[in-house]
Structure 1
Amino acid sequence: MLFISLSKIQKKIVESIRARRLQMELTQEGLSERAGVPLSTLRKFEQKGVISLDSFLKILSVVGGLEEIVDALKPKEQHFKSIDEVLKSEEKTIRKRGNRK
């Protein structure tokens, strides 16, 4: 459950990327060139927070943070309290598809 709105998260991400860019003493043009992202896309991202996933990942690969994103999205390991929980988890089949709506 989120306790912060998506727009606030979006704003925090933009601020963080911009701060990393400035810390690296890069202009928007410099980051755009290094990341292989059109300058207009980078400007739109810093102004409105709108960007494609591909462009976002390219920018992260330059300013840093890509590894942290990948690590944050890894599934969490299960911590068992008893052997019964272990046995029950082994009985469950792993779904490879979601439920239909």
Structure 2
Amino acid sequence: MWALKTNSEVTGELVARCREVRLSQNMTQQEVAARAGISLRTYRRFEQENQISLERFVAVVHALNRMGDLELLLQPPPLRDLKELDSIAPKRKRARKS
């Protein structure tokens, strides 16, 4: 249950899962890095130190052919009916201090 874990623990779990997927697909770190369009050094830093930008993380997930898994993350809430569609406020683009 991730709700009880620290950010660092969750990050470590994501890295471990990516490593498991890579190994299950019999891919080397070099192959994943090349498919993701990142350097081998960057990929190694990801697996060893849990450090990578969000954009590069998405590239790694794409290289591992797991974008469907990523798509499940933070899904928008489901709409109940057409009446609710009409009542939805426009999406906010900025936060306002009160």
Deviation at 1:15, TM superposition (A): 0.4
Instruction: Give the structure 1 partner of residue 40 of structure 2.
Output: 39
Q: Which of structure 1's runs of 4+ aligned residues deviate more than 4 A?
A: none
Counterparts of 2:91 and 2:64 in 1: how far apart (Å)?
36
Residue-pair matches, total? 93
Instruction: Give the structure 2 partner of residue 21 of structure 1.
Output: 22
Matches within 5 A, 1:86-97: 90=87, 93-96=89-92, 97=94
Q: What is the TM-score when the length of structure 1 is the normalising length?
A: 0.76
Counterparts of 1:58 and 1:93 in 2: how far apart (Å)?
33
The runs of 5 or more residues in structure 1 that have no matched partner are: 81-85
Q: What is the TM-score when the length of structure 2 is the normalising length?
A: 0.78
Where 1:73 maps in the other structure, the secondary structure is coil
Identity of aligned residues (%): 25
RMSD after superposition: 2.2
The runs of 5 or more residues in structure 2 that have no matched partner are: none
Does residue 8 of structure 2 align to residue 11 of structure 1? no
Counterparts of 2:5 and 2:62 in 1: how far apart (Å)?
26
Matched-pair contact (CA < 8 Å) for 2:30–2:40? yes
Structure (1 or 2) with the larger CA radius of gyration: 1
